[in-house]
Chains A and B, each alone.
Chain A
Amino acid sequence: MDYLLTDEQKMVRELARKIAVEKINPVAAKYDQSEEYPWEVIKVIAEAGLFGLFIPEAYGGMSVNVLSLCLATEELSRACGGIAVCYAASALGTFPIVLFGNEEQKKKYLPDLASGKKVAAFAITEPEAGSDASAIKTTAKKEGDHYILNGLKHFITNGGDAETYVVVAMTDKTKGARGASAFIVEKGTPGFTFGKKEDKFGIRASSTRELIFTDCKIPKENLLSKEGMGFIITMKTFDMSRPGVAAQALGIAQGALDLAVKYAKERQQFGKSISSFQGIQWMIADMATEVEAARALVYSTARMVDNGITGVSKESAMAKLFASDTAMKVSLDALQIFGGYGYMRDYPVEKYVRDAKITQIYEGTNQIQRNIIALQVIKEAAR
């Protein structure tokens, strides 16, 4: 299929594919097992310039292009969903600064994030504030020229390995959702420590940690936009980043499909390759069709964002929902085609099942995505 990509987008895809094949495929199983942060691959991605895809040229990036970011994330995920999310989570942590940072903040933080010298993380989730983000308890109290942060964030991707964090905390609890604000917090700030690293089912190459704030004093200049903008910043950030999660799911689905097709051609049973059986062929046909449908949705949504169309919450949610459900289904079908071998860790396909699962959960569970879609569809019908 031709996706009508620009020359630049084709280059991004080619380069990310090269990194995936040459640098990620050989080490994906190793990092899945060891759960170490894949710095060697992050360095390659950085040197290739892919961290610049979500940062304007004025700050050392390549200009912001969500479709390019999706293409890079998709290709990296095709080889390893865990390594790819280290990259994509840095985009998530960077978008609030790109979208809402003032000139000083952009100048201070973006160049190192564009070069990949540092990675970023975004922190909103708390033990009791998952889908209900308004329930966050972390507080930021203004004292003179500083804010004092207290509280706990958990399940933070890139937590502990990122240098630059965007943290959402309550500046005025009485105002509810309108009392939240977003702050840039640097690793190493006194009072900012990390809790345990989570032992995960999938995306094990990525790090997930607790962030602990104990009277953490940050300069007032680190407030993003204004007090009370925390949730608006979060929503706008997710609008930009959700196509990226969808792209991660899409890449996992494509990677699982690639493995299944290759295996089906090689595996001999009843004297012929199992790809000659209609039962397998129909599975492959469905898997390939679903992957293309997911791709169409992801690319269209990314193109809308790149063309400055606002109010893409519904499309973003649809792309994330459909691509992640596709990743889950296609990776399970791929494992089925592998038969007993697919269940064994010696074969790469079971990892795709584990990596796929998280895409149905994070950046808004698929149930929350359905809420967003339904609300919007019903609202549109009322017009």
Chain B
Amino acid sequence: MNIIVCIKQVPETTEVRINPETNTLIREGVKSIINPFDMYAIEESVRLKEKFGGKITVITMGPPQAESALREAISLGIDEAILVCDRAFAGSDTWATSYTLAGAIKKIGGFDLIICGKQASDGDTAQVGPGISAHLDIPQVTYVKKIEEVKDGLMRVERMMEEGFEIIETPLPALLTVVKEINEPRLPSLKGMMRAKTAKITVWTQKELGLDPQGIGLCGSPTQVVKIFTPAQRKGGQILTGEPQEVAGALAELLKSELS
């Protein structure tokens, strides 16, 4: 089974700081990591390879420093890594990103499965995975929490829903996005880390991919960010203490004054 895993390098923080003048993320002084949800995608691909054999290729679109995310993926058991990197791709929204990644995946070819994390921890859109499947015109199953069976070109998976789960069968090749419930990612191995250090990372630019110039980068991105801001911190609640009757009375008064 040949698998392609799409990953993204993100800042390691839950409190993303934004430059108020340029409306862009402040990346200085923040360590970059593999998007946590993509770690589950990597782990699942390695488990499938251990079971069925084949080759795993990891792909990311990003600046040259995203290479470190690819090397980390190799240390976890991925075979090959491709960095899609070109100034022409800068400013891509989820549509242009998925178009570009789909172009690169077509160039890799010969895959049975694409796995993505359910969303990136910085943008939180959950759109790039589904976008890739649309551009490639292959089936997609999002929020997968378990791969039940792979047989005769079909894959049966459990899809996590708000309440309960769905069991979906899809023909391959297909694209899955996975949730954290699917597995517990392993740590790298020493041999993997050594391989990662010297592994060759293939870099593809627009020249290699030859994509429609109207579909890539800022030009191919219909999304317009109107405003970006850090939401105000939620203020702590108020705790009423005392005898139940007093507290109930005080609560009723407070609610009344809030509503008026």
Contacts and interface: CB of A to CB of B under 8 A. Distances in A.
A-side interface mostly: helix
Interface of B: 186-191, 193-194, 197
Given A11-B190, A49-B191, 4 more contacts: A8-B194, A47-B186, A47-B189, A52-B190
11 contacts: A11-B197, A14-B193, A19-B187, A47-B186, A47-B189, A48-B189, A48-B190, A49-B189, A50-B190, A52-B190, A62-B191
B187 A47 contact: yes
Contacts of A53: 190
A62 B188 CA distance: 15
Interface of A: 7-8, 11-12, 14-15, 18-19, 22-23, 44, 47-50, 52-53, 62
B78 to A, nearest CB: 16
A12 B190 contact: yes
Contacts of A11: 190, 193-194, 197
Contact of B190 (A22, A23, A49): A49
A15 B191 contact: no
A278 to B, nearest CB: 32
B190 A44 contact: no
B189 A7 contact: no
B197 A7 contact: yes
Nearest to A51: B190
Nearest to A18: B187
A12 B193 CA distance: 9
A45 to B, nearest CB: 10
Contacts of A52: 190
Contact of A23 (B187, B188, B194): B187
A232 B189 CA distance: 35
Contacts of B189: 15, 47-49
B194 A22 contact: no
A224 B191 CA distance: 30
Contacts of B186: 47
Contacts of B197: 7, 11
Contacts of B188: 15, 18, 48
Nearest to A7: B197
Contacts of A44: 187
